[in-house]
Amino acid sequence: MPAATSAPDAVRFRHEAFFYGDQATFLAGVLPFVRAALEVHEPVMVVLRSEKLAAVRAALGSESRDVTMADMAVLGANPALIIPAWRRFLNEHAASGRAVHGIGEPIWAGRSPAELAESQLHEALLNRAFADDSNFTLLCPYDTAALGAAVLDAAVHSHPFLSGGRTAPSCEQHALAAPADFLALALPEPVAPVEQRRFGSTDLATVRRLAQEMAVRAGLADRSTEVGLAVHEVAANSARHGGGHGSLRTWLDGTELVFEISDAGHLDDPLVGRIEPRPDAVTGRGLWLVNHLCDLVQLRNTPDGVIVRLHFRGTAP
């Protein structure tokens, strides 16, 4: 059973996958974790979908007032925004010197394939994002009754610690997945008709206008300004860092409007767009802004360069 550890025992970041098969097992794992933190007056944040939050809140009773809670379906709809949320929580309590505890379930059976891929990348990135943080324990529940074997196996390889009946057969088989491995995975080709055009640094205003027009056509008129801004930011990055030009593809995937910008660059920092830029930073704001404008952002390195996909949820035209 997972349990919160308090300073000085929790010296380094502890990232643990907790496997459960039903609601009773889930509560039997997470409640002791939360209560152990509360007993020693250490901050704890729980990020789950609303129905799970309700169950935890009901079980804790009056103790829940001392727990920070957030709906993962809202906070983590775009998985790239989860790490910034944990970072804010850590920063809020950094001066206290106390250990910090969190429960986050970014992966559930209802995730779309694109969301699942980015959630798995997020889990791998956590190990890098908080590698230098001490006294932070993060417990990630995984529903073994609802998730497929491949998803559960990926969880084993993105978490240094495991509980709930799963253990790695050997150290070799438990080698942690590198973020670079996820960033090299090919994105599926669209099955819908695709509009495509090349652009250069002098075409950015046109790219922005075309993105806004496509948003209107896709039933996203109320978001056309932010759609145009997001596409413009990524296209400008291509013009600036990707060889001066790029390619823009657009299509409708069900009720999602998708833009794909590719260029000849290379993504060196897998955490780009997930770390809030310093107020005096000259660069690094583009993808941070884009992650806050889009419903989902996917970045991949390919043999030919970089691909960025921007997803906007709406209604079919």
Structural domain for 218, as ranges: 195-313
Total count of domains within the chain: 2
Tell me whether residue 277 is in a domain.
Answer: yes
Q: Are 34 and 118 found together in one domain?
A: yes
Looking at the structure, do residues 26 and 145 belong to the same domain, yes or no? yes
Domain boundary among 160, 183, 206: 183
In this prediction, residue 167 carries a pLDDT of: 65
Please check whether residues 127 and 218 belong to one and the same domain.
no
Do residues 160 and 33 both lie within one domain? yes
Question: What is the spatial distance between Cα 243 and Cα 246, in angstroms, rounded to a whole number?
Answer: 8
Identify whether 56 is part of a domain.
yes
pLDDT per position as a tens digit, 263-275 = 999 988 999 999 9
Cβ(263)–Cβ(247) below 8 Å: yes
Residues 6+ apart with CB under 8 A from 146: 108, 109
**Sheet strands (E) in the chain:** 14-20, 44-48, 68-71, 100-104, 136-143, 161-163, 195-200, 245-253, 256-263, 296-302, 305-313
Q: Identify the CATH number of the domain in which residue 49 sits.
A: 3.40.50
pLDDT at res. 3: 43
Residue 225 CB neighbour total at 10 angstroms:
13
CATH of the domain at 308: 3.30.565.10
* pLDDT at res. 10: 42
Check whether residue 115 and residue 32 sit in a common domain: yes
Evaluate whether residue 2 is within a structural domain: no
Q: Is residue 138 part of a domain?
A: yes
The reply to whether 1 falls in a domain is no
In a domain, 7, yes or no: no
Which strands sit side by side in the sheet containing 136-143, from one edge to the other? 68-71, 44-48, 100-104, 136-143, 14-20, 161-163
Give, for all 317 residues of the chain, the pLDDT tens digit. Answer: 444 433 334 458 999 999 999 999 999 999 999 999 999 999 999 999 999 999 999 999 999 999 999 999 999 999 999 999 999 999 999 888 899 999 999 999 999 999 999 999 999 999 999 999 989 999 999 999 999 999 999 999 999 999 997 766 544 445 678 888 889 999 999 999 999 999 999 999 999 999 999 999 999 999 999 999 999 999 999 998 878 889 999 999 988 999 999 999 998 899 999 999 888 776 778 999 999 999 999 999 999 999 999 999 985 44
List C-alpha distances in Å: 137 to 10, 75, 133, 168: 7, 19, 10, 20
State whether 307 and 254 are in the same domain: yes
Phi/psi at 283 (nearest 5 deg)?
-125, 175
Six token digits for residue 222: 């109320």
pTM as predicted: 0.91
Tokens representing 110 are 């209802």
178 CA to centre of own chain: 15
Residues 166, 49, single domain; the answer is yes
pLDDT value for 314: 80
For the four alpha carbons of 263, 275, 115 and 230, in that order, the dihedral sign comes to: negative
Among 158, 183, 208, the domain-final residue is 183
Chosen domain end from 127, 151, 183: 183
Same domain, residue pair 211 and 260:
yes
Whether 190 is in a domain gets the answer no
Query: Do 23 and 73 fall within a single domain?
Result: yes
188, part of any domain = no
Asked if 280 and 270 count as a contact pair (C-beta separation under 8 A), the reply is: no
What is the CB neighbour count within 10 angstroms for residue 133?
Answer: 15
Between CA 44 and CA 258 the distance in angstroms is: 37
Tokens 């809202």 correspond to 74
- To the nearest whole percent, how much of the chain has pLDDT over 70? 92
Residues 132 and 64 in one domain: yes
| Phi, psi torsion values for 87, nearest 5 degrees | -65, -40
Q: How far is 313 from 141, CA to CA, in rounded Å?
A: 27
